[in-house]
Amino acid sequence: MTLDSVGVRYPNGVVGLAPASLSLFADQITVLLGPSGAGKSTLLRALNHLVRPTEGGIAVSGIGPLEARGALRRHRRQTAMIFQQHQLIARLTALQNVLIGRLAHYPAWRTLFPFPERDRRLALDCLARVGLLDRALSRCDMLSGGQQQRVGIARALAQQPRLVLADEPVASLDPATSRRVLKLLRSICKADGIPAIISLHQLELAREFADRIIGLADGAIVFDGVPSELAAADLERIYGEPTGPAHQDEAETEVLTPKPLETLVEEMEAR
Ligand SMILES: Nc1ncnc2c1ncn2[C@@H]1O[C@H](COP(=O)(O)OP(=O)(O)OP(=O)(O)O)[C@@H](O)[C@H]1O
Ligand SMILES: [Mg+2]
């Protein structure tokens, strides 16, 4: 994926991302590192136009420029997202939540029918890979935070993505659980050859799990390299500067799945 001078200016005039040009490579775990308000979510969401860039363009290998007709839809279908609050539906089971990952592959009318057997098998297989086969039929609100995030990973896998985008996937977990979840995510992405772009604000986790770190401060890329190259001066550039206006919590509560969750629930219940 190649970004050519991609910038985001929000309607209120705030620059979420100053024009950035970079290439993201297959088979790499890239971590977007920076303090609150640095622009991590903006950059991550720009990658599949959940936030539309106000300048520049993105091209995806095998698809081409995202502006081309049909390109964004194809790109989104092959891109799985993992969220901080995992966006699971509490009253559905782990298995049902994972099956939702399959919906991306079907046209809207198809979702009126039950999931084919092969989708159910795939969903169970994905739960097994995150160590939760025995909880497949548990309601998600009966699972711990770490388990819920593993269901979120299983749902992403069920989409059989060519790219994983994860926005602060461990922000609401304790340090030991965070490490376990990231380790799992990394090992699965490596095993399947799926590149992942993960935003994190914790330096230690970034160092441990990234192949490449992109450091952000005030909406600008201030570091781009392997973890071992990250020096004190870079950290000062990332963390040392004031991060601008207090960041807005509303941005976090937006529902970012392509379809509203309530629609998905209705579809689920119609089965
Ligand atoms: N919808 C929006 N409208 C206006 N400004 C926004 C919007 N979303 C984010 N911003 C601003 O853009 C800048 C970058 O925000 P962004 O959410 O990308 O940061 P972040 O690095 O993800 O922060 P955090 O770690 O808190 O999630 C901030 O100044 C923020 O206030
Ligand atoms: Mg964010």
- The whole-angstrom separation of Cα 147 and Cα 136 is 11
Is the C-beta atom of 37 inside 6 A of ligand 1? yes
Tokens linked to 193: 């050859």
Q: Among the atoms of ligand 1, which is closest to the Cα of residue 247?
A: 31
Q: Counting beta carbons within 10 angstroms of the beta carbon of residue 266, is it exposed (0 to 12), middle (13 to 18) or buried (19 or more)? A: exposed
pLDDT value at 217 more than 60: yes
- Distance between Cα 17 and ligand 1 center (Å): 9
- The whole-angstrom separation of Cα 182 and Cα 153 is 10
Query: What H or E segment, with its residue span, contains residue 124?
Result: helix 117-129
Q: What is the pLDDT of residue 244?
A: 42
pLDDT digits (tens, 9 = 90+) for 33-59: 999 999 999 999 999 999 999 999 999
Q: What is the pLDDT of residue 85?
A: 76
Q: What is the pLDDT of residue 271?
A: 61
143 close to 131: Cβ distance less than 8 angstroms: no
- pLDDT class of 267 with cuts at 50, 70, 90: low
Is the C-beta atom of 248 inside 6 A of ligand 1? yes
Domain limits of the chain? Answer: 2-269
**Kind of pairing between the strands at 29-33 and 55-60:** unpaired
- pLDDT class of 263 with cuts at 50, 70, 90: low
Which fold does the domain 2-269 belong to in CATH?
Rossmann fold (3.40.50)
Tokens linked to 188: 């699965």
Q: What is the pLDDT of residue 264?
A: 63
pLDDT value at 248 more than 60: no
- pLDDT class of 218 with cuts at 50, 70, 90: very high
pLDDT digits (tens, 9 = 90+) for 92-117: 999 999 998 888 777 666 666 678 88
Picking from 8, 18, 83, the residue whose alpha carbon sits closest to that of residue 47 is: 8
What mean pLDDT, rounded, does the chain reach? 88
- Distance between Cα 86 and ligand 1 center (Å): 19
- Distance between Cα 203 and ligand 2 center (Å): 15
24 close to 46: Cβ distance less than 8 angstroms: no
Residue type, 65: P
pLDDT value at 253 more than 60: no
**φ, ψ at 155 (rounded to 5°):** -65, -40
- The whole-angstrom separation of Cα 105 and Cα 183 is 28
Helix axes 175-192, 145-158, angle to 10 degrees: 10
The residue whose CA has the least distance to atom 11 of ligand 1 is 16
Q: What is the pLDDT of residue 261?
A: 63
Q: Among the atoms of ligand 1, which is closest to the Cα of residue 38?
A: 21
pLDDT value at 24 more than 70: yes
pTM of the model: 0.85
Picking from 85, 54, 83, 49, the residue whose alpha carbon sits closest to that of residue 68 is: 49
